[in-house]
Amino acid sequence: MAGHLYIVTAPSGAGKTTLVRLLLENDPGIRLSISYTTRGPRNGEVEGREYHFVSVPDFLSKTESGDFLEWAEVHGNYYGTSKSWIEAEMAAGRDVLVEIDWQGAQQVRKLFPAAIGVFVLPPSLDELQRRLSGRGTDSAQTIARRMAAARDEMRHVAEFDYVIVNDDLQQALADLLSVVRASRLRYSAQCQRNPVLFTTLL
């Protein structure tokens, strides 16, 4: 039985990371793919939990050997997703979630066309800017750059299966849980999970 692959994408500040964390807390059946990155760890980040932190030469070596399912350069840093780990998890019947940008999502769908894409939107541009400014960690120039990038990213929302507007966090979480639960109730998924039952009934 193959597991599902979920792709969650959002512009910086839309609340994707918080939503994914809450989803994993509420659904232990999903495994989070830990990306590789060349950026340095932020305060509180731990190697192997938020990211695998590697040097630029190490990252480029992995790209050349085909270790990554997808990779991209974002805000001057490289990010990549392990292909072999995802394939092993799904082959074992476990569901996997990847947090990536729209470019990475396009690359993933080429190899996993059945992947379920979810795009998280902020309720407005004003609210997005307020959230980015409220972090207190970025300069005005950085925030302006992230806002410009967000506008470009959100133009790709139609490429995804589901769209969640993160206005209220609890409602957004309920929506994301609903996407996961509904995907597991698809006919093909139920046939794989209950082969004896379907053989007996049908």
3-class SS at 15? Answer: coil
CA-closest candidate to residue 99, choices 42, 194, 14, 185:
14
Which single residue is written with the structure tokens 């490289």? 78
3-class SS at 131? Answer: helix
Q: Are 16 and 120 within 8 A, CB to CB?
A: yes
Q: Per CATH, the architecture of 5-33+94-201 is what?
A: 3-Layer(aba) Sandwich (3.40)
Check residue 92 and report its DSSP letter.
T
Cα–Cα distance between 202 and 192 in angstroms, integer?
Answer: 14
Q: What is the pLDDT of residue 136?
A: 65
3-class SS at 151? Answer: helix
User: Over the stretch 142-174, which tens digit does the pLDDT of each residue have?
Assistant: 888 889 989 999 999 999 999 999 999 999 999
The pTM of the full predicted model, rounded to 2 decimals, is: 0.83
Q: Give domain limits for the chain.
A: 5-33+94-201
